[in-house]
Structure 1
Amino acid sequence: MEILIWISIIVLIAVLLISVNAYIEKERYKFLMEKYNDDTIVNKIMKKEIWQGMTREQLIDCLGQPAELDTSVLKLKTKEIYKYHKTGKNRFSTRVVIENDIVVGWHLK
């Protein structure tokens, strides 16, 4: 009898966590739609997809704040490398190159 109570509690917690996660995803989608008003962009951000031409703000909405950021200011442009998912000392599995606030390239390991 006691084991059934524990199983019921575990199932209830699992259902609750799934429901909360679904609610959070729905609210995030709604927030991004209000912000960008473009279904294609919002779906890419929700899938954590990186694309050329993506803005810095879209990248942050997609992957969050970088673990590390390198910035170079040149005569005609500003180049930034956003580093995500640290794997070791100065090692990252994802690096995104931004020039003048636009994604121009990335490297995924």
Structure 2
Amino acid sequence: MKIRNWRGRAAALLTTVVILCIVSNPELATLVPVLDALGLEVLLALFSAQLVVIFSDVLLPYARHIHQRWGRRVLKPVGDALWCFAGNYLRELIRHMRLAGMPARIG
């Protein structure tokens, strides 16, 4: 192994173990060409996207309930603060546009 640090060696070892587990399972052996073509990172990203789709059916109703109950109280001050900062930025942008001789109208 040409990798000098322990993190690189651990990642290489973990990758090797995951690939060997995939190859040794007859049901997952058909993923080897996909793994070879895309790479392990892309395959794990596809699996995580699939898990998000599966768990969103379970977690989305709870998240919606929490947002309806607490989200408006928490997010309104945060939104007001962000709008305040954006308002200052937009005022400066309009001032610079007027100094440059460009017509500026927002609102």
Structure 2 length as normaliser, TM-score?
0.33
Higher strand share goes to which structure? Answer: 1
The higher-RCO structure (CA 8 Å, 6+ apart) is 1
Structure 1 length as normaliser, TM-score?
0.33
